[in-house]
């Protein structure tokens, strides 16, 4: 991204106030139009996931073509992942909840990559034992959103390397140093693990085609900050004989303290709600969360609040307003001043506490089979298509 932009978005750095429309232009992606939403709704059996309906997923690459192929009898698979640098918070789950919805509506196999190697390379303070432990715990949380275990497969990088490596080797030969340097902003002090990592992140995009011996389209729902990884993937896909993956890009969730992204990097644990936070902690964190409210009750009643900058509103928008009518009511009452921030938070707190309690119960059920979904070896006879150009 040009240095003159006031915000920076790469897979390793997100800085400044993001202008999402401008970011889409800079990345050269397509807007999710009302016509595309209509197609998604129709093919999903008449429903639209709230993250689509409310514009959290707002950008894409080649999804219209993917849907046409799907309708023509070519099913796709889903791919998403997690870099295990710590416990998951509520925002991390959104992407997986969305994938689970897509899996159910489109009967799609799901591939989840746990990138314990990448997080070890990226975070100076993390040991391999920690990234492995977080990876296993994160996996249990991810599966607890309700993926169908019969159609869900996991790549846990340090355990799945035998399955991923043959594809990564083919990819690595076609991606040169100047490309990764330009795309990811690597410097002379970047370790060589990260230079290679984009090959490993690419491998699951091609795995079902490789393992099954026939091209299978891939759909990747991800934060728009991850788009650069998959630009590299898309650039080399066809030269290796694989379909270019399609992407659905989401905006990023603001943190509770008004940080632009719900991140816990550094000593800011109050910026996010962790899946293990007990009810009292949820109450404490949400009571101090940053809002778009006015300085006084009188002013808010008179002028209304500003939901666009409010972390509480973002939570209603993404998960906790269960219907579009409820979300429209929050939006309307917030802007008009009919709703005060204390009351708004009070209602949300109860919902978040209930959500976390249910999530923890589901987690214990998937724990017993989670590691059995890890793919350790490719199927016998898996063979890459003939690459174009040797
Ligand atoms: S009323 Fe609710 S949504 Fe509106 S600014 Fe206050 S906390 Fe945010």
**CA atoms of 230 and 217, how far apart (whole Å):** 14
pLDDT at 286: 96
Domain ranges for the chain: 16-256, 269-367
**CATH architecture of structural domain 16-256:** 3-Layer(aba) Sandwich (3.40)
| Among 260, 218, 275, CA closest to 80 | 218
Q: How far is CA 322 from CA 159, 249, 310, 326, 374, in A?
A: 38, 22, 19, 7, 33
Q: Check if 314 has its Cβ closer than 6 Å to any atom of ligand 1.
A: no
**Residue-level pLDDT, tens digit, the chain, 390 residues:** 444 557 777 776 777 778 899 999 999 999 999 999 999 999 999 999 999 999 999 999 999 999 999 999 999 999 999 999 999 999 999 999 999 999 999 999 999 999 999 999 999 899 999 999 999 999 999 999 999 999 999 999 999 999 999 999 999 999 999 999 988 889 999 999 999 999 999 999 999 999 998 999 999 999 999 998 899 999 999 999 999 999 999 998 888 987 555 555 544 678 899 999 999 999 999 999 999 999 999 999 999 999 999 999 999 999 999 999 999 999 999 999 999 999 999 999 999 999 999 999 999 999 999 999 999 998 887 776 666 544
How far apart CA 387 and CA 239 sit, in angstroms, is: 6
Q: Whose CA is nearest to atom 5 of ligand 1?
A: 292
CB 349 near ligand 1, within 6 Å: no
Whole-number Å distance, alpha carbon 346 to ligand 1 midpoint, is 11
- Asked if residue 312 has its Cβ within 6 Å of ligand 1, the reply is yes
What is the value of pTM for the model shown?
Answer: 0.92
The CB of 341 under 6 Å from ligand 1? The reply is: yes
- Which pLDDT does position 13 carry in this prediction? 72
The dihedrals phi and psi of 51, each to the nearest 5 degrees, come to -70, -25
The answer, yes or no, to whether any atom of ligand 1 lies below 6 A from the CB of 183, is no
pLDDT at 2: 45
**Cβ burial 74-112 (10 Å sphere, 16+ → b, else e):** eebbbbbbbbbbbbbbbbbbbbbbbbbbbbebbebbbbb
Measured between alpha carbons, how far is 162 from 356 in angstroms, rounded to an integer? 36
Q: Is the CB of 305 under 6 A from ligand 1?
A: yes
Nearest-atom number in ligand 1 for the CA of 344 is 2
- Would the CB of 88 count as within 6 Å of ligand 1? no
H/E stretch holding 40 reads: helix 34-43
In CATH, which of 2.60.120.10, 1.10.357.10, 3.20.20.70, 1.10.240.10 is domain 269-367?
A: 1.10.240.10
Helix (H, G, I), strand (E, B) or coil at 249: strand
Residue whose CB lies within 8 A of the most ligand 1 atoms, among 257, 313, 329, 336, for a mutation test? 313
Q: Name the residue of 254, 310, 335 whose CB sits within 8 Å of the most ligand 1 atoms, as the mutation to test its pocket.
A: 310
Give the closest residue to 232 by CA, choosing from 268, 188, 258, 199.
199
The CA 317 to ligand 1 mean position distance, Å, reads 11
Strand pairing class (218-223; 246-250): parallel
Cα of 345 to ligand 1 centre, how many Å? 8
Q: Is the CB of 9 under 6 A from ligand 1?
A: no
Residue 333: its pLDDT value, please?
Answer: 98
> Closest residue (by CA) to atom 7 of ligand 1?
341
What's the confidence (pLDDT) of residue 154? 98
- Of 336, 341, 346, 351, the one to substitute when testing ligand 1's pocket (max ligand atoms within 8 A of C-beta) is 341
Contact between 193 and 168 under an 8 Å Cβ cutoff? The reply is no
Cα of 337 to ligand 1 centre, how many Å? Answer: 9
Q: What confidence score (pLDDT) does residue 384 get?
A: 64
Smallest CA separation from ligand 1 atom 3, residue? 313
- Residue whose entry in the numeric block shows the structure tokens 């989840």: 112
- Give me the pLDDT at residue 267, please: 45
d(CA 27, CA 207): 26
Distance CA 346, CA 324 (A): 20
User: By CB neighbour count within 10 A (0-12 exposed, 13-18 middle, 19+ buried), where does 184 fall?
Assistant: buried
The pLDDT of residue 3: 45
Q: Ligand 1 atom 4: the closest Cα is on which residue?
A: 334
Cα–Cα distance, 107 to 104 (Å, whole number):
5
Residue 248: partners with Cβ closer than 8 Å, 6 or more residues away: 32, 57, 59, 60, 63, 219, 220, 221, 222
Could you tell me if the CB of 293 is within 6 A of ligand 1? yes
212's enclosing H/E stretch is helix 192-212
Judge whether 163 and 208 are in contact, CB under 8 Å: no
Query: Ligand 1 pocket check: which of 286, 293, 335 to mutate, most ligand atoms within 8 Å of Cβ?
Result: 293
Say yes or no: CB of residue 224 within 6 Å of ligand 1: no
The enclosing H or E element of 154 equals strand 152-156
Distance from C-alpha of 231 to C-alpha of 258, rounded to nearest angstrom? 30
State how far the Cα of 121 lies from the Cα of 117, in Å rounded to an integer.
6
């Amino acid at each position: 991204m040009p240095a003159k932009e006031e915000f920076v978005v790469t897979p390793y750095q997100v800085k400044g106030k993001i202008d999402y429309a401008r970011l889409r232009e800079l990345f050269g992606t397509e807007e999710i139009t009302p016509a595309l939403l209509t197609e998604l709704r129709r093919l999903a059996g008449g429903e639209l996931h709230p993250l689509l309906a409310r514009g959290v997923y707002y950008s894409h690459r080649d999804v219209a073509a993917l849907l046409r192929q799907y309708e023509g009898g070519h099913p796709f698979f889903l791919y998403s992942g997690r870099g295990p640098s710590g416990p998951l918070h509520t925002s991390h789950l959104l992407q997986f909840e969305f994938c689970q919805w897509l899996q159910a509506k489109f009967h799609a196999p799901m591939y989840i990559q746990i990138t314990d190697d990448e997080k070890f390379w990226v975070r100076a303070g993390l040991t391999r034992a920690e990234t492995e432990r977080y990876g296993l715990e994160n996996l249990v949380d991810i599966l607890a959103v309700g993926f169908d275990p019969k159609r869900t497969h996991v790549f846990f990088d340090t355990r799945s390397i035998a399955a991923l490596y043959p594809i990564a080797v083919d990819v690595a030969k076609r991606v040169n140093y100047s490309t990764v340097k330009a795309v990811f902003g690597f410097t002379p002090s970047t370790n060589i693990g990260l230079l290679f990592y984009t090959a490993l992140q690419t491998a699951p995009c091609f795995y079902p085609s490789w393992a099954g011996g026939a091209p299978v389209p891939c759909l990747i729902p991800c934060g728009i900050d991850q788009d650069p990884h998959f630009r590299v993937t898309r650039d080399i896909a066809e030269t290796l004989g694989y379909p270019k993956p399609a992407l659905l890009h989401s905006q990023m969730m603001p943190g509770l303290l008004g940080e632009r992204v719900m991140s816990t990097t550094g000593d800011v644990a109050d910026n996010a709600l962790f899946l293990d936070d007990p009810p009292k902690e949820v109450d404490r964190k949400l009571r101090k969360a940053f809002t778009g409210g006015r300085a006084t009750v009188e002013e808010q009643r008179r002028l209304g609040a500003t939901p666009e900058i409010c972390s509480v509103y973002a939570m209603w928008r993404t998960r906790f307003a269960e219907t579009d009518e409820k979300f429209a009511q929050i939006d309307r009452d917030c802007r008009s001043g009919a709703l005060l921030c204390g009351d708004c938070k009070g209602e949300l707190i109860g919902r978040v506490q209930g959500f976390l309690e249910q999530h923890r119960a589901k987690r214990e059920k998937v724990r017993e089979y989670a590691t059995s979904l890890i793919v350790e070896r490719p199927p016998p006879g898996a063979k890459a298509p003939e690459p174009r150009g040797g």
